[in-house]
Structures are given as C-alpha cells and as structure tokens.
Amino acid sequence: MDTLETHPERPVRAPWWRVVLVGSDLRVTALRLFVTVAIVVVGFRYVLLPIRVTGISMAPTYRDGTKAYANRLSLWLHPPQRGDILAIRTSGIHNMFLKRVIALPGERVKIMRGHVFVDGEELDEPYLVNRAPWNWPSGGREEVMGPDEYLMVGDNRAMPVEQHEFGAAKREKLVGRVLR
C-alpha cells in the first residue's frame, strides 16, 4: 500500500542580514521608525529646548560653553520650587538666562553680605562656592515678591554685581526646568 506522506512546508526564513537590518516584518519596522522619528521631532521641538550656556554667572554648576536642555513640560506639571534652575525668556525663545530660584511668590527676601534670608531665615545654599561680599539686589533691604514673581539669581555670586543679571521674573517668562 502506497501512502502519500505529506510534509508541512517549512516557513521560508529571511536571510540573517535582512532580519538584522530591517526586522522580520518590514511594515512593523517602518511603523516603529515613523513613531520614533515623530517622538524625537516633537520632543526636541516642543518639550526639550536645547540651550548653550554663555558666561560664568551659573558657574560652577554650568560652565561657559556647555549644553543643557530646558524641559518645557515640567512647569506645566509642577510650579517652580526654590532651588530649581530655570530657563527664563528675555527677548524671544532664543535669548534666555539660566538662573536659580531663591524666592517664591509672596515671600520676603533680602541678601546681606552674600547670605540670602527668606522670610527672616537664612537659606541653605550648598551649591555655592563663593559668596558675594555685597548686599544685593536691594542694598540689603527686604523685598517682597509679587503674586507671580520669582527671585532668580546665578550661582556665581562672587562675580562683580555689575556683571550680574538677576532679579524678579514673572511666571510667564519662565520657560522650563533645566535638566542636569
């Protein structure tokens, strides 16, 4: 008795080099590539803003010529906190300052001989290397932050006060938290 043996066909496999370069399914790989490119484009266009640090006002935390990224979504999710380093818009999205928040809306603040006092208590600032010997921003007088103002100062407090850009920044000027 003759029997006809049937063998199930073995699936044809793609060569190993094609699997490595494209994957086992070209459509799935193309979809993954499209999604990845879309996430990167949206991320770097609308969420992460690249910043080149120029100047020494944030030294030693950020050195002149280094790159950083400001996370624009971070301020939508959580309001700025004391100690945050923020990008602040000055005249457009391409001109910004990097400064640290030292006082929040409604707080009383004064700086005497390089020591920051918020609501009468000295602020612990372990990130500072040198303190300025002068009283600023208001000559040692206490200032009260407005309802949407944050006092922003660079970390390099030892540089001459004339070279510093600092002061109260309105909430609408804050771009995002700087990633480390």
Q: What is the pTM of this model?
A: 0.76
Are 60 and 123 found together in one domain?
yes
In this structure, are 90 and 155 located in the same domain?
yes
State whether 68 and 28 are in the same domain: no
**The domain spanning residue 94 has which CATH number?**
2.10.109.10
Residue 164 tokens, joined:
């510093």
Can you give the pLDDT at residue 166? Answer: 73
pLDDT tens figures, 17-46: 777 777 778 888 889 899 999 998 888 888
The predicted-structure confidence for 120-168, as pLDDT tens digits, reads as follows 999 999 888 877 776 665 667 889 999 999 999 888 887 776 666 678 8
Give the pLDDT of residue 122. 93
Return mean pLDDT, the chain: 85
- Distance in angstroms (rounded) separating the CA atoms of residues 2 and 160: 102
Domain residue limits at 64: 53-179
Residues 84, 170, single domain; the answer is: yes
Domain count, the chain: 2
Is residue 36 one of the residues assigned to a domain?
yes
Q: Using an 8 Å Cβ cutoff, are 102 and 117 in contact?
A: no
Please state the three-class secondary structure of 30-90 as a single string.
Answer: HHHHHHHHHHHHHHHHHHEEEEECCCCCCCCCCCCCCEEEEECCHHHHCCCCCCCEEEEEC
